[in-house]
Amino acid sequence: MTAMQPIGTGLDVARIRRDFPIFDRPVQGKRLVFLDSAASAQKPRSVIDAERHVYEAEYANVHRGVYWLSQRATEAYEGTREKVRDFLNAAETREIIFLRGATEGINLVAQTYGRRFLGLGDEVVVTQAEHHSNIVPWQMLREEKGILLKVAPVDDSGELDLEAFERLLNPRTKLVSIAHVTNALGGVMPVEEVIRLAKARGITVLLDGCQAVPHMPVDVRGLDCDFYAFSGHKLYGPTGIGVLYGKAHLLQAMPPWQGGGDMIRSVTFEKTEYNELPWKFEAGTPNIAGTIGLGAAIDYLGSIGYEAIQAHESQLLAHAVRELSKINSLRLIGQPRHRSGVISFAMGGVHPHDIGTILDHDGICVRAGHHCAQPTMDRFGVPATVRASFGIYNGRDDVDALVAGLGRVQEVFQL
């Protein structure tokens, strides 16, 4: 890259990096090239400050205190619920459940909706490109209830085979649960089509939105999905906080999952009455500061805007695919037509861990492994891949650093 080339395309990447304290200091003596946001994104100062502010100035437990400080904390906590409602365009705040993350959201649906409404021989459809957190909870339900898990194939580019998906749908299909964007390949799934096909048959749909929300606006009402799960830490927010959206009538019909404080209206040893939505699903003291930090992350993203984020990212991805494709020994794993945030690849016979280690010496952070998507690796006949994933602080200079680093991998392994 020459000094004259902008590092951003539509986004002022240099300014955005200044919002993230982690970029202030070198890593291994090098400029930090962070290409692992799909695993967890870095945090802007406003999120860090929001959490610190809670503990320094507005901290108390929520929903219980009659005193001002507790009411203030409750307002901030519940205020975030309204922010998330607006963020997802949900109809009501009671449809927004705060949990630890997407994993917990999917498990909640499996353990409450699944246990209550699915039985022997009922079918759940996932795809071949799911994260383990959208596979294992259904397998656990299979062991407990005797449901069947059906897997819709993806083709060589990582695209869902919609015809094969449709063929799997039958009167026993009770739930379709798929990633909005796949984490190992970065493919944007045709969720509108999937939902249309499922809804025409009265099938409930859960979308795993972990890899979608950092990159594109999501409108749960426009999509008409029944459940939508995501994690705050991939959205530039804190760890330990995530969201499950569910349509109110479904959440109401579902039994609570965990029992304890906050999720009850009244308790005697003979009988307990559960709280109303959304608190019915929020047993115990919640992640108060993390929730408020998530609100700050949503505000921060809002100040940048998805239009600018998407315009920048599509140019950045095109640049990355073009440059990586020039490397002889490099094979892109999956070439989805609609790609978001992620590029996966293999190089010669070199193990991705070796590639990741060499890149690390240059301050370049990529993910090397199966990305919690072993069935996806099996589908593409590789044990693991290198995954470069992009956030709003990545620019062309990061792609160019990656390409230069891969040049060193070629030298070392004489590819």
Q: CB-based contacts of 114: which residues, under 8 Å, 6+ apart? A: 124, 137, 138, 141, 145, 147, 175
Residue 396 binds ligand PLP, judged by CB under 6 A: no
By CB under 6 A, what part of segment 343-372 binds ligand PLP? 372
Q: Which of the stretches 21-29, 130-138, 268-276, 291-299 binds ligand PLP when contact is defined by CB under 6 A? A: 130-138
Three-state SS at 306: helix
CB 366 within 8 A of CB 359: yes
Choice from 37, 103, 287, 394 touching ligand PLP (CB under 6 A): 103
Stretch that binds ligand PLP, among 23-31, 127-135, 145-153, 258-266 (CB under 6 A): 127-135
In angstroms, give the least distance from the CB of 402 to ligand PLP.
20
* Residue with smaller CB distance to ligand PLP, 44 or 341: 341
CB-based burial label for 118 (10 Å; 0-12, 13-18, 19+): buried
Spatial separation of the C-alpha atoms in residues 275 and 99, rounded to whole Å: 16
Contact flag: residue 128 with ligand PLP (CB under 6 A): no
User: What sign results for the dihedral spanned by CA atoms 367, 371, 377, 382?
Assistant: positive
- Which residues, 226 to 265, sit near ligand PLP by CB under 6 A? 231
Catalytic status, residue 365: no
Question: DSSP class of residue 161?
Answer: -
Least distance from ligand PLP to the Cβ atom of residue 104, Å: 7
Cβ closest to ligand PLP, residue 312 vs residue 371: 371
CB of 372 to ligand PLP, least distance (A): 6
Q: Which is nearer to ligand PLP, 214 or 278 (CB)?
A: 214
**Greatest CA span in the chain, whole angstroms?**
74
In whole angstroms, how close is the CB of 206 to ligand PLP at the nearest point? 11
250, 202 Cβ separation under 8 angstroms: no
Contact call for residue 385 and ligand PLP (CB under 6 A): no
Give the one residue of 43, 83, 85, 131 binding ligand PLP; rule: CB under 6 A.
131
In terms of CB distance, is 58 or 282 closer to ligand PLP? 282
Identity of the residue numbered 375? P
Stretch that binds ligand PLP, among 100-108, 217-225, 315-323, 324-332 (CB under 6 A): 100-108
Contact between 37 and ligand PLP per CB under 6 A = no
Check residue 210 for interaction with ligand PLP (CB under 6 A): yes
One of 36, 41, 80, 101 touching ligand PLP (CB under 6 A)? 101
Q: Is the peptide bond before 278 cis (omega within 30 degrees of 0)?
A: yes
Pick from 33, 54, 108, 179 the residue near ligand PLP by CB under 6 A. Answer: 179
Query: Is position 183 an interface residue for ligand PLP (rule: CB under 6 A)?
Result: yes
Pairing of strands 148-152, 123-127: parallel
**H helices present in 58-187, as ranges:** 68-88, 102-108, 115-117, 136-145, 162-168
Backbone angles phi, psi at 312, to 5 degrees: -65, -45
In the bound state with ligand PLP, the residue whose beta carbon lies nearer, of 103 and 291, is: 103
Q: Is the CB of 237 or the CB of 395 nearer to ligand PLP?
A: 237
Amino acid in position 160: L
Instruction: Report if residue 208 touches ligand PLP, rule: CB under 6 A.
Output: yes
In the complex, least distance from residue 328 CB atom to ligand PLP, rounded to whole angstroms: 30
CB of 6 to ligand PLP, least distance (A): 30
* 133 near ligand PLP, judged by CB under 6 A: yes
Residues in a beta bridge with 187: 339
Asked if 77 and 54 touch (Cβ cutoff 8 Å), the reply is: no
Closest CA to 343 of 357, 322, 364: 322
Quick one: tokens of 89?
């365009």
Residue with tokens 């090397």: 368
* Cα pseudo-dihedral 399, 405, 406, 407, rounded to 10: 110
Catalytic residue numbers, as ranges: 372
Q: What residues line the site for ligand PLP (CB under 6 A)?
A: 101-103, 131, 133-134, 179, 183, 208, 210-211, 231, 372
